[in-house]
Structure 1
Amino acid sequence: MAWIQLRINTPPQAAEALGERLSDWGAQAVTFVDAKDTPWYEPKPGEVQLWPDTQVVGLFDAEDDLTPLLLELKSQLPPDALIKLDPLEDKDWEREWMDNFHPMQFGTRLWICPSWREVPDANAVNVMLDPGLAFGTGTHPTTALCLRWLDGLPLSESLVVDFGCGSGILGIAALKLGAKRVVGIDIDPQAIQASQDNANRNQVGEQIELYLPQNQPALKADVVVANILAGPLRELREVITAYCRPGGKLALSGILKEQAEDIRQLYSEDFDMDDIAIEGDWARVSGTRHP
């Protein structure tokens, strides 16, 4: 099927109403993107932030007649407003995406492999994971930082807490690396389901327990990993710390490198902190809980 996309630059206060108008005209999808590459990091819980220069993008069937919509927009928007209609190449986007998703190695033992690719090393620790609705495939630097950290730990017989488990990739990797049991916690029911499905696919489904926050158990783990965001890491410091036993290991990510020292200092009250690990714009903070 052929598609066309309509792109309109607008101030943020008008973006949502404009997006609703495109939906009324039959847009199959409406997205909001940054028109000028403006950094914009952590919204508060429940807050929707748009950029000072927002671009509203509507995706339409190429057979749709958008002339009346374009005339309406030109009559209502400022004369210098960008209104651009572009054809999209008709291709098998799913196949193209699959062709470009390859097995990835983290540390010395661990590989994350999509199911449609051949495993590069049958003797390695291989986690089979297909991207889905929940965050975490290994492609993002924050996930990669945590996977390499786990690969470097002696996890045999350990209890691991994956706080903000997403796809379950960190907990599953821990189990494949020798952990005895993983407890995963996430606010999103879809993440809970994705984690269980991915654990089952990797034959570790019986070793993982998954909870929404209101049901999370009280326990002391040997290893705690939380790949979320700096804001929740600050707000939930006491909760996350309480999961880690004395002498246990902690890793925190989802942190911009500019935020890392602040998080490191915050957790140093209860942990002997390691050097900050950096990859691109992102960081990992880790440490060992005081005895």
Structure 2
Amino acid sequence: MSWIQLRINTNASIAEKLGDFLFEQTDVHSITYLDAKDTPIFEPLPGETLLWNETDVLALYDANTNTLDLIELIRASEILQSSFQYKIEILEDKDWIREWMDSFVPLELKNNLWIIPSWHSAPETNSTNIFLDPGLAFGTGTHATTQLCLNWLSSQNLQDKLIIDFGCGSGILAIAALKLGAKKVIGIDIDPQALQASRANAKKNQVEENFDLYLPKDLPENITADVLIANILAEPLRALSQQIIGMVKLDGNLGLSGILDTQVDNIKTYYTDNVSFDKPDNQGEWVLLSGKKYK
């Protein structure tokens, strides 16, 4: 079976609205949002969809779709200007699921730590192996910020320690900590879907018994950790700095990521009264700040 792909150039403010319209009003098989200018974008917060300033909306249809009627339907919706730019492409028949799966292979990080899609076997059975499938909503190990956090965790002595994963998303960092010897991990996230994803991934990796998950409003009082890892974004790291500091034991370690290199100095100002920072760890434009709580 062949396919028709409709590519519409738009912007982030209306791309998702257009995608919703196509799902509701047409027989579309899939919608993809593609960066029209190859602009880097970081992983979204759990439950959040981030789009680029200039976005291509790619809609996939059966080959017998009447594209003239489709374009007129979009024009009549008035979501876009009547002169909107689009392109219609014929796609060859492929096993799309297999092609998607083949594009993901086991990922080796530092200190013999591996992230492995569930359809692959572990390349090394004596390594620290995390089985996690690629996804859109939560961290899966492919982004620089997640890799920075995983590499940092693998360099820490986590044996028998209590860890807090602040903004746990998929649970990848918590699962890594448990497989690296942590006694217990507390995962916190504002999105119930993230907690569900973390719970499912922990079960897949057989570490669910030592992984407690909470929405912020349900978190028990006065919990402090030996190690806290927060892979979120600069703004919540600023806004929640006192809460984050308060959840770390004296002499405990912090790892803060989701920070651009241009934001490092500003982020530090919110923590330096309580945290002695190590040299930042960079991967491209992204930075992980780590340090020890001394006060």
Whether TM exceeds 0.5 here: the answer is yes
Q: Which residue of 1 aligns with 2:67?
A: 66
Aligned residue among 266, 269, 286 for 1:262: 266
CA distance in 2, matches of 1:167, 1:16: 23
What are the Cα deviations for residues 233-288 of structure 1, in whole angstroms up to 9, with x where unaligned? 11111111111111000011112222222212322221001111111221111111
Aligned residue among 195, 198, 201 for 2:198: 195
CA distance in 1, matches of 2:275, 2:142: 29
CA distance in 1, matches of 2:14, 2:133: 37
- The one-letter amino acid of 1:67's match is L
Share of identical aligned residues, percent?
Answer: 51
- Cα deviation for residue 39 of structure 1 reads 6.6
What are the Cα deviations for residues 37-84 of structure 1, in whole angstroms up to 9, with x where unaligned? 45777999x998865544343332222112223356679877864221
Q: Which residue of 1 aligns with 2:129?
A: 126
Q: 1:90 to 1:261 in 2, by over 3 A?
A: farther
| CA root-mean-square deviation | 3.1
- Cα deviation for residue 32 of structure 1 reads 4.7
- Map 1:1-291; keep pairs closer than 5 Å: 1-10=1-10, 18-19=18-19, 22-23=22-23, 24-37=25-38, 53-71=54-72, 81-132=84-135, 134-218=137-221, 219-291=223-295
- The one-letter amino acid of 2:133's match is D
Q: What secondary structure does 2:262 align onto?
A: coil
- The one-letter amino acid of 1:189's match is P
CA distance in 1, matches of 2:235, 2:161: 28
* Count of aligned positions: 291
Q: Does structure 2 conserve the Cα–Cα contact (< 8 Å) formed by 1:133 and 1:190? A: no
- The one-letter amino acid of 1:91's match is K
Q: Which stretches in structure 2 are left out of the alignment for 5+ residues?
A: none
Once structures 1 and 2 are overlaid, which stretch shifts more, 125-134 or 255-264? Answer: 125-134
- Cα deviation for residue 225 of structure 1 reads 0.3
- The one-letter amino acid of 2:184's match is R
CA distance in 2, matches of 1:116, 1:278: 31
- Cα deviation for residue 128 of structure 1 reads 2.0
TM-score normalized by structure 2?
Answer: 0.85
CA distance in 2, matches of 1:245, 1:190: 29
